[in-house]
A and B are shown apart, each in its own frame.
Chain A
Amino acid sequence: MEPGFVHLHVHSAYSFLDGGSTVRELVAQAAELGLPALAVTDHHNVSAAVELRRAAQEVGLKPLIGAEVTLDSGAHLVLLARTAGGYANLCRLLSEAWQRDRLAPRLRPGALDGCCEGLVALSGCRRGEIPALLLQGRYREAREAAARLAFLFGRENFYLELQQTLLPRSRALNALLAELAERLDLGLIATNNVHYARKEGFPRHDLLTCVRTHTTLDDVHGERPLNAENYLKSAKAMRSLFRAYPEACDATVRLAGECDPVPAFDRPLIPRFTPPGGETSVAFLRRLVYDGARSRYGRVAPPLAARLDHELDLITRLGFADYFLVVWDVVRFARAKGIRLAGRGSAADSAVCYCLGFTEVDSFGRGLLFERFLSLERAQKPDIDVDFDARRRDEVAAYLYQKYGAERVGSVCTFQTFQARSAIRELGQAMGFDPVGLDRLAKLFPYFGAQDLTAALTRLPELRESGLPMARYARLFEFCQELANFPRFYGTHLGGLVVSREPLHTVTPLIPSAKGPLITQFDKDSIEDLGLIKLDLLSLRTLSAVEDAVAAIRARDPHFDYDRLPLADRPTYAQLRRGETIGLFQLESPAQRALQARLGATGIEDVVASVALIRPGPIEGNLVEPFIRRRLGQESVTYLDPRLEPILAKTYGVVLFQEQVIEIATVLAGFTPGESDRLRKVMTHARSRQEMAAIGEEFVARTVRNGVAPEVAQEIFGYLAGYAGYGFCEAHAAAFGTTAYKTAYLSCHYPAQFFAALLNNQPMGFYPPNTLCMEARRRGIALLPPDVNASSAGFTAGDKTIRVGLKGVKDLGEAAVQALLAARRERPFASWPDFRRRVPLNRGQHENLIAAGAFDSLYPNRRQLLWTLALGEEEVPASLAGLADFPPREKALLEYSALGLNVEDHFLSHYRPALRAKGILSSRQVTRARPGTLVTVGGLVIRPHRPPVRSGRIVVFFSLEDEFGLTDVTVFEPVYQRCGKAVFTEPALAVKGRVDQRGNARSVIAHEISPLSL
């Protein structure tokens, strides 16, 4: 057997712009080369650890973890974790380095003292202290440095690193290192300072280096690699390169054998919750749950008690009682502080979560399956997601930090990756392309990940017909695709926090985020492998808007209780059936508006189903049409087995929810609920035909044993296989559906307060503010311009009015708004000159206030005010007295530029006579046209998008907005390919097409599309 080799100095893509291969690519190559182990040693991080362990396990490779650190002097040093304790020390060292400087982490002098236990140090590349000194001819200093590090780590844990990457003077350097090793009795170790898995990966690494160093390929830079030798070479190749130093290769194998693999992190680090009065956490949890149950249900009947006991038993057996108490404590804090919240996700399958107040979904009443959330078989960590008023979410997070200590709480990181636009710009600049051309090119790619770029070029007419020399960019596009999803740097997960029993820096380095709070070096996909449980405290602007709307409503009606809104309100459902859902949570997209106009919603279950139906899965799986037909009684509802009826009746025989898949497998095949959920997961994620066939055999065999005919069992499995991948968690749909309904109620009964609240919490939802204003006007709400004597900072609702707030005026800023309001509190502004004397604003701010109409009540001629300002006069001079104000169309334009919306009239209303003359209809006329009529309609383009459809072809949806409302437009692929270029590039369009009517939903199927010239 040939002597082996192990690569112990390897950079993955987590070296951020200094690694040309992903962890999986490196592991695959190491396995192909037959190497027994692989270490990943990224710059200042161990982010690869979990991915490395998973990938290495699949191919039987021993995973080792370390990091290349930079010392305060700028010198590099490679540290490998020999033991779990060494890994913890590494995390501690990395945390400290990052917390000194989050953009250029460095270890302070002395940081290694007392932190070397369990670590092995390699002297590093040419930027290591010892090689650098030797290359400078400073042998004595190199010897001192080596002796110092050997003393620090212990002679057996410090190696002089030989590299033969075919750089000038490598032979001489290695000879000096070998001499030093002999003199100090130190070990030699051979590495290849790997930066990419295969030699072909070199160009990407070189290009990433250019991005990192802000250079182009034509520039010379000291950090650019000279050659393409830093790849995973075979043991034979490495032994050949180091034939003069076989002991350095032997050392790699020996050390890899001595090092523990990446720690398994198999001990749960759930924080301990200390109940009051010495009670155990299990007993305390049980008491809280039963108290909550009595509060929710009045009395705890035996079936409910059985359900609660079952859930509590499982929670206890899985060791999660403390975790539930931590969440309970957080929720209790938020409620006590009046912070609006709502649980979401599969936690709503739990009656315990409902009784503890995490969710508002009565899972027991709905018959939801707890095992979709938590099961003994799956033994997965519970995933409890709670939405909070976006403005106050950080207060809740701060409570956790305060309660458990900053060293035990961290935000989960994300990895910023190359998207199409950023990849084109950054990689293109590194390749030396003209930045202006790149900017034009990048702007054509607003909707794609970098991996979809080449396919988009051939499929999308706005790219094909852009006039840009795409052939010149061919290599750039290839690089963009290759580097899609490569991590660029750390970001902060919007809601994910981990709370740990032990200080977090023993399992993950903690690094400061851009905003300050510490984040982990592992993202949501890896963090739980460390034994930690993620707690998602999410910011939801909808809840902020609800809070604002409720406050405004209560100012008029103190008895209004949002938490006790009637769920069977007829006017609310009537509004839904008209498809009037703009602004509503989860129900406002064109597809949802169309669904609502067809579904005939009469109860909350229709809303819950709606939330689940308009998702890529059900749409691709063609679930929507059968559901609507059955809901409307146009298609009979039949069941292959009578036992399916109680499970599927609420969805008219369609398998819409994941819980239904679990229940079918439980009832018909006799699976335990946990087994069924495992089946659901496998079916959802099954990639191979064989895997699916194997599950099918098991399901059919067990179903037949339960008295079902084989062909029926097979057919049922066919349904499950067809639908499982598309199913949606019913609990989540119920949680979102409840909030969706409540926003519908607010919009129906309190439209002024509701739309004002939406406008105050932008950006949120599907539509821009101008569309919300249009909808508010259409619903009979008068929009009033900003007024220096009447406006508040934000939008304010009156009885049937919404007054535009001062914050909405471009460039005014918080300080100027507050100065204005403070001056007004003293006394109202008597005139424009009075305002100017009392509120110090710059000219641009002043111009924007005039353009927005904020002085109309003091001086209605906006043109005269702008001229006075331009002339530098204090008051309007007499010479301007005859100057007429702007015509309405110009006023509207100015207003839009100052506010980003039109207040009293929609912009297009000023062009209506001209549009009429061209035969272009309004949205109102389209709603009155007979189905099938050929019409031409014009408007501003709102949210063009290409959702996935079952056929795989492109279908484009967008809305045309005018002063009367929206016209939804559908463009099928042939029309899109022929004349769709303008859809994504023009602000306003004229669309010729046929009126289509389905239920109350009306749209235009496009035949011709052209820019709308105004």
Chain B
Amino acid sequence: MRLLDVPLVVREGPDGRLASFVWRGRKYRVAERVDLWREVGAWWEGEPEKTFLVVRTEPAGVFELYHTGPAPDGRPVWRLYKVYD
């Protein structure tokens, strides 16, 4: 498992859910949402709430991503947090 915490470009499906993302120039399609949870973080320091998602992808991989509140364009800000080997 590798801890990355890097920005990520994602594409959402028509239902608003994460459909795919691009990492290191390669596109990964979400095959299964394995888990989903939310964390408040250090709210007393103004840290925003994060929603975490563990997904299984095609091509094969398991990734942990999270997003915080919306960016100026109104979309959530996504980051890739961990990659499971």
Contacts and interface: CB of A to CB of B under 8 A. Distances in A.
Interface stretch (B11-19, B22-30, B33-41, B67-75): B33-41
A202 B44 CA distance: 11
Contact of B40 (A168, A169, A171, A226): A226
A229 B40 CA distance: 10
Nearest to A227: B38
Interface in B33-85: 35-40, 42-44, 49, 51-52
A649 interface: no
A206 B43 contact: yes
A431 B38 CA distance: 23
Nearest to A167: B37
A228 B36 contact: no
B44 A170 contact: no
A203 B43 contact: yes
Contacts of B43: 202-203, 206, 228
A934 interface: no
A784 B37 CA distance: 75
B35 A228 contact: no
A203 B35 contact: no
Nearest to A170: B37
Contacts of B35: 168-172
B49 A171 contact: no
B37 A228 contact: no
A171 B36 contact: yes
A222 to B, nearest CB: 15
Contacts of A170: 35-37
A119 B52 CA distance: 38
A166 B44 contact: no
B49 A228 contact: yes
Contacts of A166: 36-38, 51
A203 B44 contact: yes
Nearest to B52: A168
A217 interface: yes
Interface in A147-201: 166-172
B2 to A, nearest CB: 19
Residues of A in contact with B, size category = 10 to 19
Interface in A207-221: 217-218
A228 B40 contact: yes
A170 B43 CA distance: 23
Interface residues of B, number: 12
A218 B47 CA distance: 13
Contacts, number: 41
A336 B38 CA distance: 68
A836 to B, nearest CB: 60
A468 to B, nearest CB: 20
Given A227-B49, A228-B49, A217 B39 contact: no
Chain B CB within 10 Å — which of A172, A202, A218, A227 has the most?
A227
> Helix, strand, loop or mixed for chain B's interface?
strand
A228 B43 CA distance: 10
B39 A227 contact: yes
Contacts of B39: 226-227
A431 B52 CA distance: 26
Contacts of A206: 40, 43
A276 B23 CA distance: 93
A168 B66 CA distance: 13
B36 A229 contact: no
A842 B3 CA distance: 64
Contacts of A167: 37
A807 B35 CA distance: 69
Contacts of A227: 37-40, 49
Contacts of A172: 35
Nearest to A228: B40
A168 B44 contact: no
Contacts of A225: 40
B23 to A, nearest CB: 22
Contacts of B40: 202, 206, 225-228
Interface string A825-868: 00000000000000000000000000000000000000000000
A498 B1 CA distance: 63
Contacts of A228: 38, 40, 43, 49
A204 to B, nearest CB: 11
A217 B43 CA distance: 9
A959 B13 CA distance: 77
Contacts of A217: 42, 44
Contacts of A169: 35
A226 B37 contact: yes
A218 B39 CA distance: 15
A708 B52 CA distance: 76
Contacts of B51: 166
Nearest to A202: B40
A655 B39 CA distance: 61
Interface in A221-237: 225-229
Contacts of B49: 227-228
A431 B36 CA distance: 29
B33 to A, nearest CB: 8
Nearest to A203: B43
A858 B58 CA distance: 99
Contacts of A218: 42
Contact of B37 (A168, A202, A203, A475): A168
Contacts of B52: 168
Nearest to B33: A171
A227 B47 CA distance: 12
B31 to A, nearest CB: 16
Contacts of B42: 217-218
A206 B43 CA distance: 10
A402 B39 CA distance: 56
Contacts of A229: 38
A227 B51 CA distance: 10
Given A227-B49, A228-B49, A431 B37 contact: no
Nearest to B37: A168
B6 to A, nearest CB: 21
A431 B44 CA distance: 9
A203 B44 CA distance: 8
Contacts of A202: 40, 43
Interface string A875-889: 000000000000000
Nearest to B51: A166
A203 B52 CA distance: 20
A203 B43 CA distance: 8
Contacts of B37: 166-168, 170, 226-227
Contacts of A475: 44
A453 B18 CA distance: 47
A475 B44 CA distance: 9
Nearest to A224: B40
B22 to A, nearest CB: 26
A699 to B, nearest CB: 54
B34 to A, nearest CB: 8
A169 B36 CA distance: 8
Shortest beta-carbon contacts, A-B, top 3: A166-B38, A227-B38, A168-B37
Given A168-B52, A227-B37, 7 more contacts: A170-B36, A206-B43, A218-B42, A226-B40, A227-B40, A228-B43, A475-B44
19 contacts: A166-B38, A167-B37, A168-B37, A168-B52, A169-B35, A170-B36, A171-B35, A172-B35, A202-B43, A203-B43, A203-B44, A226-B38, A226-B39, A226-B40, A227-B38, A227-B49, A228-B38, A228-B43, A229-B38
